[in-house]
Structure 1
Amino acid sequence: MPIVAQSGANQDHHPHDDDDDEGESSNNANGILDLDPTLWKNIPHELLEKVHLCLPLVSLARFRSVCRAWNHIVFDEGFIRSRHNFTQKPWIVITSTANSISIYDTGFETWLRLPIPFNATNLHVVAAAGGLLCFSNAWFQWPGMAVLNPVTNSWRRLPPMSTWMITTVGMVYNDTTNSYKILVCGRLEDHSMITEVYDSATGRWAPGGIPSAAKKYGGDTLVWRDGIFYCLTFPFSTLSLIAYDLNPGTWHEVPVTMPSPIMSPSVVVCNSSLLLVGGVEEQDGEFSIQIWELEFQTLVWEEVETMPALLCREFESRMVPSKPFSCFGTGEFLFLTIPSNTAYLPALVYDLKLKTWSWWPSQGFPPQLPEINIGRSSGFSFEPRLHALV
C-alpha cells in the first residue's frame, strides 16, 4: 500500500519508453511532462543526494521503490547522518486500522495514510518514541506487542511478556545506542501488580520494581523526561503523581500537591516541561480548562494558562457525556482531543510559544474511525526518522 496524502497526493509519473526523436521533454495528451530518461539517468550522484536530503520524509519513503540506486542512497550511512541534522517537525498518530495508520504531519499540515506491514487487527498504537511506534492489543488478556518504523516500514514483533493485563505503557529511545526501552505496567493473572521493561539491545523483557500500594499504581499514559517516566494515579479520586526511575528500576511518588478536583487530568511533556492539563469547576459554576507546569525545584504546580471562556464553552459543548477529553503534546504544542463515537475527533491545539488556540484540521481526517478506535481520543506524537532501528 503506498503512502498517500489524504488531501490528494500527486501520482508518480514514469517517463515513456518511446522518446521524441529530438530527445527532448514534451507534454503528452494529458498535459503531463514526459522527462527524457537519457538526461535524468545521468544526474550526478552528489546532486541527487542533495535533492533527496531536501525532500520530506514521506517522499523519501515513497521514492525508495523507484530503483535500487535510490533505495541505496536513502539507507546509506552518510546520507542518514546528514539527514539527521535536518529539523523534522513531529507527526501525530491518532487512529489506525488493520493495515494502515492515519498520521498528521504538523510541518505540512496535512493528513497521511501509511501502511502497516503486519496484520494489526485489534492492535493500536500505545506508545511512541524516537521515530518508532509501539502497537499492542493492550486492555485484552495476554497482550502482545510489535514495534514499527513507519518511514522505513521495518518492524519487529516483541517476545511474550509475563503481564496478563496492561494498565499503561511508556517508551523511550536512546539516540546514542540506537536502542529503545518499553515500560509496561499491569497485573498478573492472579491480579498482583507487575512491572516489566523490554530492552531492544538484549531483545528480552526484565522485571521492574513494584509500587508500594495498588492505588499508587498508575492508570494514565506514561511520559518521559530526563531519565524518568511519569504518570498519574488511577483512580483519579486519589490523584497523585508517580514516577519510575529507569536506571535503578524503582517507583516513587512525587511529593507534590495536586490541584483538586480536576476533570480528565493528563500529564504531558513539552520541550522538557512537565505539564498538567485538566478541567476545573469554578466557584461560579463555570467550567474551565487549565494548564499547570511543575516547578521541580519547589515541587509546586504553577498555573500557566487558562482556556478562554468562550472557546472553553464551545469545547465543552462538543464533549461526549461520561467520556473524558484527553491531552498529549509534542514540542511547543498541546492537543486536547474529544472522543467520538463514529468519525472526526474534535481537538484544540495550543501553541505554548505563541499562546494561541486553534481547532484541529478536519480536512483529510479518516471519514470513519475503525471500531478499535471508537470512543478513544488519545494520540501520540513522534519525530519520524530514517535511522530509528526496531
Structure 2
Amino acid sequence: MDPRIWSRLPNRLVARVICFLPPPALFRFRSVSNRWNHLISSKCFVEDYYLRIAPRHHWFLFFKSKRPSNYIYRSNNGCHDNQVCEGYLYDPYEKKWYRLTFPLVSPGFSPAASSGGLIAWVSDDPGHKTILVSNPVSKSFTTQLLPPTSEPRLLPAVGLFANNRTIYVMVAGDDQTSQYAVKNITTERYHFDGAGIHLTWDINSKLPDKCNFETGRMVFMDGKFYCMNYKPFTVYVFDVLTNQWSQMEPPMRRHILSPCLVECKGRLYLVAKVAKNKLKVPKSLRVWRLSTDGSKWDNFVCLQQLDYDQFIAVENGKGFDCVGSGDFIAITVKGSDITLLYDLFQKTWDWIPPCPFLYNAASTSNGCGGGRGLHGFAYEPQPFTPVMDLFNHQLQSFLAHSIMANYQY
C-alpha cells in the first residue's frame, strides 16, 4: 500500500489491524513510529480494542526442570540456580519457538501454575510459601510478594486462575517441612477481585483422606480446580464458590500409568498410558474427555499402534507429563525435551520440533541441559494484563495510606 495512505489511516483502523498481530510483532511495531508507539501504549487501545477484539493465542511455555531426571518427579521444577531464569515459548500453529528471560525473578523460585497470561512462582524452600505473579511477555510482575501461606509446606500443589480483574491462587497439601514430618493436609486460597487488597490467605478446608497430588498440578475449569490424585487414582474437585472438595472416579482405576488432567477450550481431558496387556485392555496411550454434565468419561482417542510403539521406545518407562492449551495436548517425556503433540481439531499426532535454544555449548547431547528435561505450562501470551496493574495500584495505595497513618500517629 502507498505509504501516504498508511499515514492517513485513522487511529481506530490502525488499532484494529494491530490487534490481530501476534504478540512478538506487536512489540516490534512499537518502534515503527512515535505515533504507533503512543497508540499501542495508550489505555484506550488496551481497553477499547485489544482486550475486546484481539484473538487469543493458545501456546505453551516450557522451563528446564531444576532437578535431575532421576529425582522424584514431585519435586519443584525450577529454571535457574543463581542464574537469569529462561523459558521457551512455543507456538503450535506456526511451529515456532521464542525465548523469554525473567531477570526480575529471584533465584529460589520455581514456576508452578499459569493462567490469563500470568505465571505464578512459588518459593522452593520448605516452610511458609511465598508467591510471585508475573507476566512473561510484558516483563511486569507484582511489586510485592503475596503474603506467605498460613501453613508451612514442602511441595504443595498450586493452582492459578486470572482474568482482567480477578486472581485466584490455590495451595493445597503437603503441610510439612520435610518428607519425614507428619502431614496435616489443608487448602489455602488467596483471592484478589479488584475490591481491595487481601493481606492473608483463607484456610478453606482439609483435603479428603489419602490425598497424594504427585504431579503438583491443578487445572481450572468452570469455577473449579481439578487435581489428579495417586494411590488410589482419584480426581479431586475444589469449588471456589462453596469452598468444598468433592471427588470423582477416573475412567480406569487400575492398569494406568502417568495419568494427567488437562483443560482445552472449556473441556476436561485425562491422558494416561494403559499398562494392561489383555485383549479387552490392550497397551495404549489414551485420551478421555469428561462429558458436559460431568457424569462420565468418554474414550476420546487412542494412539495408533505404530505411533504408540515409537512413543514407548522414547518414553521407555520414564513416564510423562501433559498440558493442554487451545486445540492441543502436549505430552512431554520426563527428563527430556521430547514432546508429542495431539491436535484435537485435526485429530493428528505429531512431534514438536526440537527447541533451538536448548542446543548450545552448555547442553549435552540430548539437548536438555544435563538431562533435566522440560516442564510445560499452557500459556496465552498477553502483552497487557489489567489485573496486574490493578493489583499493584491498590497495593501501593494501601501501603501509602498505612505509612501516612503511622506517621500521623
TM-score range, shorter chain: 0.7 to 0.9
1:136 aligns with 2:122: yes
- 1:160 to partner: Cα distance: 1.7
Partner Cα separation in structure 1 for residue 161 and residue 50 of structure 2: 21
Spell out the pairing of 1:1-390 with structure 2 (5 A cutoff): 46=11, 49-50=15-16, 52-64=18-30, 70-80=36-46, 81-84=48-51, 85-95=53-63, 96-97=79-80, 98-138=84-124, 140-156=126-142, 157-162=145-150, 163-175=152-164, 178-186=165-173, 187-189=175-177, 191-201=183-193, 202-204=197-199, 205-213=201-209, 215-220=210-215, 221-233=217-229, 236-254=230-248, 258-281=252-275, 282-283=277-278, 287-295=283-291, 297=293, 299-321=295-317, 323-340=318-335, 345-367=337-359, 368=363, 375-388=372-385, 389-390=387-388
Q: 1:286 to 1:250 in 2, by over 3 A?
A: closer
- 1:230 to partner: Cα distance: 0.6
- 1:294 to partner: Cα distance: 1.9
- 1:51 to partner: Cα distance: 5.1
Partner Cα separation in structure 1 for residue 357 and residue 127 of structure 2: 31
Partner Cα separation in structure 1 for residue 20 and residue 282 of structure 2: 49
Which TM-score applies when normalising by structure 2? 0.75
Unpaired runs of 5+ residues, structure 2, are 64-78, 389-409
Aligned residues: 343
Rg: which structure is higher?
A: 1
- 1:164 to partner: Cα distance: 2.2
Partner Cα separation in structure 2 for residue 89 and residue 386 of structure 1: 11
Partner Cα separation in structure 2 for residue 272 and residue 378 of structure 1: 22
Deviates more, 1:125-134 or 1:90-99: 90-99
- Partner of 2:155, secondary structure, is strand
Q: 1:41 to 1:99 in 2, by over 3 A?
A: farther
- Partner of 2:231, secondary structure, is helix
- 1:257 to partner: Cα distance: 5.7
Q: Which residue of 1 aligns with 2:75?
A: none
Kept in 2, the 8 Å contact 1:320–1:339? The answer is: no
Partner Cα separation in structure 1 for residue 17 and residue 262 of structure 2: 36
Deviation digits for residues 303-337 of structure 1 (CA, Å, limit 9, x no counterpart): 1111011111111111154x311111112111111
- 1:127 to partner: Cα distance: 0.6
Partner Cα separation in structure 1 for residue 353 and residue 263 of structure 2: 23
Partner Cα separation in structure 1 for residue 56 and residue 290 of structure 2: 27
- 1:154 to partner: Cα distance: 0.7
- Partner of 1:208, secondary structure, is strand
Identity of aligned residues (%): 26
Deviates more, 1:349-358 or 1:108-117: 108-117
Q: Which residue of 2 aligns with 1:15?
A: none
Deviation digits for residues 328-384 of structure 1 (CA, Å, limit 9, x no counterpart): 11121111111235xxx111111112111111111524224776x954543111222
Which TM-score applies when normalising by structure 1? 0.78
Partner Cα separation in structure 1 for residue 351 and residue 249 of structure 2: 35
Task: Supply the AA of the counterpart residue of 1:208.
Answer: N
Deviation digits for residues 25-48 of structure 1 (CA, Å, limit 9, x no counterpart): xxxxxxxxxxx9xx9997666265
Q: 1:166 to 1:208 in 2, by over 3 A?
A: farther
Task: Supply the AA of the counterpart residue of 1:90.
Answer: H
Kept in 2, the 8 Å contact 1:195–1:209? The answer is: yes
- 1:286 to partner: Cα distance: 5.9
- Partner of 2:313, secondary structure, is helix
Q: How large is the Cα RMSD of the aligned pairs?
A: 2.9
Partner Cα separation in structure 1 for residue 287 and residue 249 of structure 2: 19
Kept in 1, the 8 Å contact 2:187–2:203? The answer is: yes
Deviates more, 1:45-54 or 1:118-127: 45-54
Q: 1:113 to 1:40 in 2, by over 3 A?
A: farther
- Partner of 1:313, secondary structure, is helix
- Partner of 1:52, secondary structure, is helix
- Partner of 2:274, secondary structure, is strand
Kept in 1, the 8 Å contact 2:20–2:55? The answer is: no
Partner Cα separation in structure 2 for residue 385 and residue 349 of structure 1: 23
Kept in 1, the 8 Å contact 2:16–2:49? The answer is: no
